Structure 1
Amino acid sequence: MNRAHMDRFIDTIEWIAAAFVGIVAINIFIAVILRNTLNYAIPDSFDIGRMLLGILIFWGIAATSYRGGHITVDLIWANVGPKYQRMIDVFATLVLLFVVTVQTYTLFDKVRGTYNDNVLTFEMHMPTWPFFAVAWAGDAAAVLLIAIRTWRLVFHPEDIHDTDIKTTE
C-alpha cells in the first residue's frame, strides 16, 4: 500500500469518526426537542444513544491514535534529544498497539456474546450486536492505524502528521 492509499485510508477513518459525532449529536438533539416540545420520547432512544456513544468512542480511538491526539505525558520526552524522543515514540506506539489489539480481541468476544445471547433493546427489541460490531470495526481500524503509525515512525517519520515528531538524520 503506497503513501497516498494509506493517507486516504486514514482520512476515511477520521471521516467515519466525525460522522458518528454528528449522528450522536443529532440523536441527542432530536430526543431533547421531542421530549421538551411534544412530551414524546423516542422508543429506545436511551439504549440507542448509549450504544452510539460506544461506537463514537471506539472510532474516536482510531482517529486520535494515528494523529497522536490522545492525552500524553511528555515529562521525559521533552527533556531528551530527538533520537531518544523518536525511541520513546516508537516504544509508546508499540505499547499502544499491543493494548488496543488485546482490547479489539476482547471486544470481539462481546460482539459474539451479544449475538449468541440474542441481546435486544428494551422497548423495540432490536438486536444490539450490530452496534457492538460497528464499535468493534472502529477498534479494528484503530489497530490498523496504530500499525501504520508504528511503521511510519520506524521507517518514514517524515510521513507522520504530528508536529512533535522530528526526523533524526
Structure 2
Amino acid sequence: MSDDAGLRPPAEPQRPKNAMDRFIEGIEWIAAGFVGLVAADIFISVLLRYFFSVSIPDGYDFGRLFLGILIFWGIAATSYRGTHITVDLIWDIAKPRAKRLIDVFATLVLLLVVSVQTIMLFDKVVATKAQNVLTYDLHLPTWPFFALAWLGDVSAVILIAVRTFRLIFHPERVNEAHSLEPVE
C-alpha cells in the first residue's frame, strides 16, 4: 500500500447513464461476448482434436460465422468510441476547431460507408435465406447468423449517427465514459 493513498482528490461524480449510454454499453458487451465465443470455439476445437481426435460438428462453420458476427458488432463498438485505426498526421497539428471539423467529417464519411455496407449485408441475409444455405454437418440454416451480423451493422449505423450528433452538439459527451486518467 502506498503512503499517498489518501492524498488523491476525490473522483468527480459521473453523470448518470441515460438510455443511449446503456445501449452503447450493451453493444460493447455483445461484441465482447462474441470474442469469447470465437475464442471458446477455437480452444475447445483444438483440445478435442489434439487429445481425442474428435471435432465439434460444424465447428469450422460456427467459428467463421461467429467471427463474422464479431466483426460487425466490433465495428459498432469501435466506431462509436473512435478506437479504430486512424491516421492523425494532420489532426495532431490542427487547432481544436479544425480537429472537431475533421472528426465530424470523418464520422460522416464513416456513417455513409457503414450505411451502404448495412444495406448490402441485408441483401446478403435475404439471399442466404432464399438459397437455403446450410452448415455442413448439422445442416443448420446460416441466414440467422448473417442476420445477427446485420444487426451488429445496424447498431454501428445507429452509434455512428449518435457519435456524429454528439460531436456536433455535445462534443464533451463523446468518449467521456471511457476517458482514461493516468495511473500513478
Q: TM-score range by the shorter chain?
A: over 0.9
1:157 aligns with 2:178: no
Shift of 1:3: 6.3
1:87 aligns with 2:101: yes
Structure 1 equivalent of residue 138 of structure 2: 124
Structure 1 equivalent of residue 42 of structure 2: 28
Which segments of 5 or more consecutive residues in structure 2 lack a partner in the other structure?
1-15, 180-184
- CA distance in structure 2 between the partners assigned to 1:51 and 1:15 by the alignment: 18
Given candidates 125, 131, 140, the residue that maps to 1:111 is 125
Question: TM-score w.r.t. structure 2 length?
Answer: 0.86
Which segments of 5 or more consecutive residues in structure 1 lack a partner in the other structure?
165-169
Q: What's the secondary structure of 2:18's corresponding residue?
A: helix
Question: TM-score w.r.t. structure 1 length?
Answer: 0.93
Structure 1 equivalent of residue 8 of structure 2: none
Q: Give runs of ≥4 in structure 1 deviating > 2 Å.
A: none
1:78 aligns with 2:95: no
Identity %: 64
* Bigger Cα Rg: 2
Structure 1 equivalent of residue 31 of structure 2: 17
- CA distance in structure 2 between the partners assigned to 1:3 and 1:26 by the alignment: 32
Q: What's the secondary structure of 1:16's corresponding residue?
A: helix
Shift of 1:44: 1.0
Structure 1 equivalent of residue 159 of structure 2: 145
1:104-147 residue CA offsets vs partner (Å, 9 max, x unmatched): 00000000000011001112111000100000000000000000
1:8 aligns with 2:22: yes
Q: How many residues end up aligned between the 2 structures?
A: 163
